Amino acid sequence: MGLSFGTKAPPTALSGEVVVTGLGKSYGAARVLSDVNLAMNEGEVVSIIGPSGAGKSTFLRCLNYLEVPTEGKISIGGAHVVAGGKLPDKASLDHLRRVTGMVFQSFNLFPHLTVMENITLPQRKVLGSSKEQAQAVAERLLKRVGLPDKAKAYPARLSGGQQQRIAIARALALSPKVMLFDEPTSALDPEIGLEVLAVMRDLADEGMTMLVVTHEMHFARDVSDRIMVMGNGGVLEIGPSEQVMSQPQNERTRQFLKAVLDR
């Protein structure tokens, strides 16, 4: 069971695997993210939904500093950062990125490396694993995402769905505590997207803590424990998935859900 919070006043004592308080980002006078609060327990899955431009991806990308937040605090898996509009010190940044795994909309596999090398290279450089250790981990992960026979292939030879499953394996190889998914199926046709969603569902069942920006309403409802709805750079509402989908509290949420569910 997840903790849930209102969006305005930052709660006094948040705890959990992920604790974000008062996170905001401005470009000069333009405010793209304001006062986002979120606490997640270990093993919890939260989907982030909302219209385009709501700040969903920006929020997610602030969590591992692909975007630099201008205010707020982030604690993930033991890494703590206080935002100040610039990159934190190297040790904190490394720690934060070490405990988070990221899966992108456009996969971003390294095209000049084989699938095996994509998964082993980060392990060898970051964890200092031996070649044999790294390969053993990669083989186990390739099996887990259902692509054990693709180790020697280059990404260009794989379908989008396969590439995204490899990208998930690559992120898992560094044993992150929290997985961040940024619209992982948006670049895939609906049928191919299912194979990626299946892998994510397994991952959730195995107890991975996951934060997923998505337009897949079935996934949001069925797999995630809670849904966070964003709009206009802030949190519109957050609550148990079933409740947000069937009885949204916020008017803007109702509009959005009506638009996506009536399609």
Beta strands in the chain (DSSP E): 18-27, 30-40, 45-49, 71-76, 79-82, 100-103, 178-182, 209-213, 226-231, 234-240
Cβ atoms of 193 and 185 closer than 8 Å = yes
Q: How far is the CB of 93 from other proteins (least distance, A)?
A: 8
Give the count of alpha carbons within 13 A of 100, CB side only.
28
Among 15, 82, 85, 94, binds other proteins (CB under 8 A): 94
Which residue's CB is nearer to other proteins, number 181 or number 256? 181
Which residue's CB is nearer to other proteins, number 56 or number 97? 97
Cβ atoms of 6 and 50 closer than 8 Å = no
Which residue's structure tokens are 């083989």?
139
Distance of CA 6 to the CA centre of its chain: 21
Q: Does 98 bind other proteins (CB under 8 A)?
A: yes
**Strand 45-49 and strand 209-213: pairing?**
parallel
Q: Does 187 bind other proteins (CB under 8 A)?
A: no
Q: Does 49 bind other proteins (CB under 8 A)?
A: no
Which residue's structure tokens are 């859900």?
257
Among 49, 147, 171, 196, binds other proteins (CB under 8 A): 171
Q: Site size for other proteins, by CB under 8 A?
A: 29
The alpha carbon dihedral of 229, 230, 235, 236 has a sign of negative
Q: Which residues pair with 102 in a beta bridge?
A: 180
Binding mask 112-141 for other proteins (x = CB under 8 A): xxx------xx--xx---------------
Q: Does 95 bind other proteins (CB under 8 A)?
A: no
Report the candidate in 44, 39, 93, 42 with the shortest Cα–Cα distance to residue 69.
93
Which residue's CB is nearer to other proteins, number 45 or number 167? 167
Binding mask 194-233 for other proteins (x = CB under 8 A): ----------------------------------------
Q: Does 3 bind other proteins (CB under 8 A)?
A: no
> Strand, helix or coil at 81?
strand
Q: How far is the CB of 3 from other proteins (least distance, A)?
A: 26
Among 14, 109, 137, 188, binds other proteins (CB under 8 A): 109
* Contact set with other proteins (CB under 8 A): 64, 66, 94, 97-98, 100-102, 104, 106, 108-114, 121-122, 125-126, 154-157, 167, 170-171, 174
